A = this chain, B = another copy of it.
Amino acid sequence: MQVWKEYQAQHKDRFLQELLDLLRIPSVSADSRHNDDTKRCAEAVKEQLIKAGADNVEVCPTPGHPIVYGEKIIDPALPTVLVYGHYDVQPPDPLDLWHSGPFEPVIKDGKIYARGSADDKGQFYMHVKAFETLMATNTLPCNIKFMIEGEEEVGSSNLGPFLEQNKERLKADVVLISDTSMISLETPSIDTGLRGLAYMEVEVTGPNRDLHSGVYGGAVANPATILAKMIASLHDENNHITIPGFYDGVVELSAAEREALNKAPFDVEEYKKDLGVNDVWGEKGYTTIERTGIRPTLEVNGIWGGYTGEGAKTVLPSKAFAKISMRLVPGQDWINISELFKKHFEAIAPKSVQVKVTAHHGGSPYVTPTDSIAFKAASQAIESTFGQAPIPVRGGGSIPIVALFEKTLGLKTVLLGFGLDSDNLHSPNEKYDLANFYKGIETIPYFHKHFAELSK
């Protein structure tokens, strides 16, 4: 619509400056030293929602980081879109690998470099600016509710109770989220499935104190060695995961479905080149697209133990630790998988060590229906601004709350993501392309328009 285009062209620079201000707040939810920053970020989101035209805007306290709510109800008879996003970000370390400060956003080669630029500040903020556009041009075609939380990166543990307590307030017809990627601006795509997550921490204890590796080495189980052996045993020689029962219930795709999935444009040579690896790696019998989309995985996210400083220390450590997470697919339940992991990890520990397994958090996998009004609205919105229909793809990441929305609110979700796989999410030098940011702001009003029209 011309009126949207004109309004957005006029306020383009301000939209960006506002986002940069938001990116300057180090709202790291995992690090309690940043609790004041997450609070400040929630307040900033509140201010922006009010300015954009939302009513009843509120920073809702939780036992953890607050949730920002706002709404614009123009007519209770019209359909309602619940926009979800998160203002919290991943920890920025390792800091020394950033080319500029993670919380000092820099625009370079048409990209915004900052922690949270793509995940998810840059993406949820497109919705705020799309909403502003609709309000300012007096063209809002449906009701909109915003729920922007601050604990997505640490497991959204307070979101479930919030949903339960606010069922009436959150009543809607669909949940709309921009927190995923598309293939490219030239080949737009929409994620139709997300993997679930089970995130564990393990602690292996050998001797009751750090020992001199000369005096005791060779005679006492070294927890770092044992942990390595235990981790090594979690994948077999075909890179299948060895936890008993892990694959039980995993929904296998039909040959036709797999064929369709593998039609997405993908160049393994380019993929290897981009990552700087000589070879891909993964479960035997599956392509890279399948490995990241439809198959469950197990990854070591962190490992530590013993002396890790400068130089040499001949210590036989008392303890070794690892953070291990599993991505889950339809048919797997994260609580069940967490329990299977714990049971297995405890079972394979040799007698000479002690093992403690803790579940951090998790979420169930989710597959979006592609025949819903909301998915069609999203597809048409993309077509309106990209000139072509999006390819439906299965995403590898997890947004555990998507399953939660279905369970608690009875709502389906549309994942209208504008990121790119190259955005360095959770990595140093996270970035979000300016072109994607503006394309999102341009596209989202069409979603509301088509959704309202198709709902008639």
Bound Cα distance from A305 to B213, whole angstroms = 22
Known contacts A209-B427, A320-B303, A351-B279; is A313 also within 8 Å of B90 by CB? Answer: yes
Contact A311 B154 (CB under 8 A): yes
Contact B219 A281 (CB under 8 A): yes
What residues of chain B lie closer than 8 Å to A344, measured between beta carbons?
Answer: none
Closest to A31 in B: B310
What residues of chain B lie closer than 8 Å to A305, measured between beta carbons?
Answer: 300, 302-304
A439 interface residue (CB < 8 Å to B)? no
Q: Give the distance to chain B from A454, nearest Cβ to Cβ, in Å.
A: 31
A309 interface residue (CB < 8 Å to B)? yes
What residues of chain B lie closer than 8 Å to A352, measured between beta carbons?
Answer: 277-281
Contact A225 B235 (CB under 8 A): yes
What residues of chain B lie closer than 8 Å to A11, measured between beta carbons?
Answer: none
Number of interface residues of A (CB under 8 A): 101
Contact B314 A325 (CB under 8 A): yes
Bound Cα distance from A320 to B308, whole angstroms = 11
8 Å CB interface, A376-400 against B: 395-398
Bound Cα distance from A32 to B224, whole angstroms = 27
- Can you list 27 A-B pairs, Cβ within 8 angstroms, ordered by A? A30-B310, A94-B210, A209-B275, A209-B428, A210-B424, A211-B275, A213-B297, A213-B299, A213-B327, A213-B426, A215-B292, A216-B275, A216-B396, A217-B327, A217-B396, A218-B283, A219-B280, A225-B231, A227-B303, A279-B351, A301-B306, A301-B313, A301-B314, A302-B306, A302-B313, A311-B360, A313-B426
Enumerate the 6 nearest inter-chain pairs by beta-carbon distance, A residue then B residue, closest first. Answer: A214-B397, A218-B297, A208-B276, A30-B311, A232-B232, A302-B306
